[in-house]
């Protein structure tokens, strides 16, 4: 039995589907208000509970062989507590390559602190650090760029657009997560999970626009102007779509060495071009 947190999220649904594909029994922790329509409710058992209220759900780990925690790494202490109460030692935690950013923000600090809690837990842990995850439907990353490109002929890009990015297809992440659970060589290690190769931000936008059959003009905006826009916009509205840390990170390379993940986990990710093509086939070109 594999226990999954974050199962109703975008990546979590793919992880659950991959577990079922491999004939694993699956139990998922979900909020009472969560939309569970993306889960095969005939094939998985659902536990209603709040991740932060360990007393309410820790007992449901009884009989569980391992946990895959797709929930944000900041919630790791609650998962660790529950596992120790029920004697579950094998846990795969999802973190983020934000871990390596030079920026100092509350979000990044939460990632670092979460990983530190895992590393000091005494559990048989594995930490997975995906880059920008994308796939069919609303991935909250590339899907937002697709939507923007679909509606507008101009694409604002903060900075030169020549920094490296390495988006990773959600299906490849799900396979790596499930594979890690049963890989003893992965215990006590962390792995960066990215696409087959790095590309520039400019090239990523070109691939997207070409796949959609759209003619697009890229408009480059200096970083300092983007920062001013983000700061002012967020003062006016807390729902402003551009965040200051997102602009600052446009200056950082987001390319990563995935050789260890390939060797230990058998990680074999798609190229961005192949991943976008697959996402289009799964979703339907009209929806993209």
* pLDDT interval class at 283 (50, 70, 90): confident
What superfamily would CATH give domain 2-130?
A: NAD(P)-binding Rossmann-like Domain (3.40.50.720)
- Across-strand partners of 200? 164
* pLDDT interval class at 285 (50, 70, 90): very low
pLDDT digits (tens, 9 = 90+) for 228-251: 999 999 999 988 888 888 899 898
**263 by DSSP, 3-state: which?**
helix
pLDDT digits (tens, 9 = 90+) for 6-29: 999 999 999 999 999 999 999 999
Query: What per-residue confidence (pLDDT) applies to 287?
Result: 43
Q: HSE on the CB side for 182, CA within 13 Å?
A: 10
More confident residue, 38 or 282: 38
Residue 103 and residue 100: Cα distance in Å, rounded?
Answer: 9
pLDDT digits (tens, 9 = 90+) for 162-188: 999 999 999 999 999 999 999 999 999
Query: What per-residue confidence (pLDDT) applies to 238?
Result: 84
Q: What token pair was written down for 116? A: 């530190």
Residue 18 and residue 155: Cα distance in Å, rounded?
Answer: 35
More confident residue, 288 or 262: 262
User: What residue spans of 47-141 are helical by DSSP H?
Assistant: 54-57, 76-86, 106-119
pLDDT digits (tens, 9 = 90+) for 54-87: 999 999 999 999 999 999 999 999 999 999 999 9
Query: What per-residue confidence (pLDDT) applies to 83?
Result: 98
- Across-strand partners of 16? none
pLDDT digits (tens, 9 = 90+) for 175-225: 999 999 999 999 999 999 999 999 999 999 999 999 999 999 999 999 999
Query: What per-residue confidence (pLDDT) applies to 280?
Result: 85
Q: What token pair was written down for 88? A: 């579950």
Q: Which of 143, 119, 147 is nearest to 132 (CA)?
A: 143
- Across-strand partners of 192? 129
pLDDT digits (tens, 9 = 90+) for 88-123: 999 999 999 999 999 988 999 999 999 999 999 999
Quick check: 288 pLDDT over 90? no
Query: What per-residue confidence (pLDDT) applies to 284?
Result: 57
Domain ranges of the chain: 2-130
Residue 111 and residue 234: Cα distance in Å, rounded?
Answer: 23
Find out whether 17 and 174 touch, Cβ atoms under 8 Å: yes
Residue 70 and residue 85: Cα distance in Å, rounded?
Answer: 20
Q: State the Cα angle at 230 between 226 and 235, rounded to 5°.
A: 150
Q: Which residues of 30-66 are buried (b: 16+ CB within 10 A; e: fewer)?
A: beeebebebbeeeebebbebebeebeebbebbeebeb
**287: number of Cβ within 10 Å:** 12
Query: What per-residue confidence (pLDDT) applies to 286?
Result: 39
């Amino acid at each position: 039995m594999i226990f999954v947190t974050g199962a109703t999220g975008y990546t979590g649904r793919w992880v659950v589907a991959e577990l079922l594909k491999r004939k694993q029994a699956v139990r998922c922790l979900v909020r009472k208000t969560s939309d569970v329509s993306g889960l095969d409710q005939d094939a998985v058992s659902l536990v209603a509970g709040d991740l932060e209220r360990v007393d309410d759900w820790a007992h449901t780990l009884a009989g569980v062989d391992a946990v895959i925690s797709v929930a944000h790494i900041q919630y790791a202490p609650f998962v660790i507590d529950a596992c120790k109460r029920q004697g579950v030692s094998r846990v795969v935690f999802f973190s983020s390559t934000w871990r390596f950013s030079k920026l100092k923000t509350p979000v990044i600090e939460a990632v670092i602190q979460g990983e530190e809690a895992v590393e000091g837990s005494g559990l048989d842990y594995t930490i997975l650090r995906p880059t920008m995850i994308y796939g069919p439907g609303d991935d909250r990353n590339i899907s937002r760029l697709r939507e923007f490109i679909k509606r507008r002929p101009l694409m604002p890009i903060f900075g030169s657009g020549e920094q490296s990015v390495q988006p990773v297809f959600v299906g490849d992440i799900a396979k790596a997560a499930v594979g890690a659970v049963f890989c003893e060589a992965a215990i006590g290690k962390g792995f960066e999970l990215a696409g087959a190769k790095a590309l520039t931000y400019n090239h990523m936008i070109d691939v997207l626009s070409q796949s959609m059959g759209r003619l697009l003009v890229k408009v480059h905006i200096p970083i300092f102007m983007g920062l001013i826009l983000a700061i002012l916009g967020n003062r006016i509205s807390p729902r402003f779509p551009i965040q200051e840390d997102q602009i600052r990170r446009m200056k950082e390379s987001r390319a990563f060495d995935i050789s260890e993940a390939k060797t230990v986990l058998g990680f074999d990710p798609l190229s961005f071009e192949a991943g976008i093509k697959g996402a289009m086939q799964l979703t339907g070109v009209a929806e993209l």
